[in-house]
Amino acid sequence: MADPIPSLTHPGAGESVEAPGALSQRAPTIADSAAIDHFTRDYLRFDDLRARCSHPQWRPDPNVNVLSNAELNPRAAEQFRTLRSRLYQLQQSQSVRTLLVTSSIPGEGKTFVAMNLAQAIVRQPDRRVLLIDSDLRRSRLHVPLGAPSAPGLADYLRGEADELAVIQQEQGGNLCFIPGGNEVSNPSELLSNDRLKKLLTRLAPIFDWVIIDSPPCLPVADASVLADLCDGVLLVVRAGSTPSSTAQKACQELHGRKIAGVVLNAMAETPAYGPYHYYGYGDGHNDSRDSHK
């Protein structure tokens, strides 16, 4: 089946991964208007959230956040803008608001992709993004953002913090962030409880996108649990590293869970594929950008 987001992987760039499932056949999810409950309509609005959530000073790592200083790697910055455009094209025809970003195995760059995609979106006028670290086994999304790691999602799921206590907001911007929170011993059970679904139901309608960084889908079942709560899944594959059989196995694991596309990460540019056909992110070197999950 053709990838619902065309050309996220290029057929000439090595092994391609077909994405099973079609968003057009999905059942309504939490992002649908019918899911906007009393809390959302009458209490939680974006201005409320921005005024009442925490506002710590973030110190983003410019070596990882390619949008904060696009001059460092203009090709990578442009490719995240391209990915942003393709997701908006998809959103025009499908009800897609909550997007899970995962990978087959650790080290493929899912956290790098999730963070920079969120940054690319909020750089457009009046676009609001909620970025969530749901990798409760190895929470790392706060590191490239230079943000506090707690309180966060784990604390909310355990009933130790409310929504506004775990949400951080970029001063003067439209990016909100929920870190992973304090370490827990039962991440699968926490992600499976109804509190996460309730949280997404309350928050998704006030954002243009909710981007969720999840654990890799093959070592643990967490990504499959999270995918059932989202409108689409973006699978990150590392060029020259992820075996094609592993990527295919990941697609099988996520089968029926609305795969929106595949991002080929850390793909080196070649003369055959100039900057407008460069569908990977990063330059293929093992630098700080690629060390993040």
The Cα–Cα gap between 60 and 116 comes to 11
Q: How far apart are CA 121 and CA 103, in angstroms?
A: 21
- Please report the domains of the chain, with CATH numbers, ordered by start residue: 23-110+117-243+254-291 (3.40.50.300)
Interior CA angle at 80 toward 46 and 252, to 5°? Answer: 95
CA–CA–CA angle 200, 68, 288 (5° rounding): 90
Which residues lie closer than 8 Å to 288 by C-beta, 6 or more apart? 61, 63, 64
**Of 165-174, 195-204, 216-225, where does the model show the most confidence?**
195-204
CB atoms within 10 A of CB 244: 12
pLDDT at 256: 67
Asked if the bond preceding 151 is cis, omega within 30° of 0, the reply is yes
- Find the mean pLDDT for residues 158-183: 93
Examine the pLDDT at 54 and tell me if it is beyond 80. yes
Mean pLDDT of 167-191: 93
Per-residue pLDDT band at 112 (split at 50, 70, 90): very high
Q: What is the pTM of this model?
A: 0.78
Question: Is the model's pLDDT at 182 over the cut of 80?
Answer: yes
**Per-residue confidence (pLDDT) for residue 196, from 0 to 100:** 96
Higher-pLDDT residue of 8 and 106 is 106
For 210, phi then psi, to 5°, come to -115, 115
pLDDT at 38: 41
pLDDT tens column, 80-102: 999 999 999 988 888 899 999 99
Q: How many CA atoms lie within 13 A of 95 on its CB side?
A: 14
Q: Which residues have a Cβ under 8 Å from the Cβ of 11 and sit 6 or more positions away?
A: none
Mean pLDDT score of the chain: 79
Q: Over the stretch 228-278, which tens digit does the pLDDT of each residue have? A: 999 999 999 988 888 888 888 888 888 767 888 889 887 766 544 433 232
Between CA 189 and CA 187 the distance in angstroms is 6
Mean pLDDT (whole number) for 216-224: 90
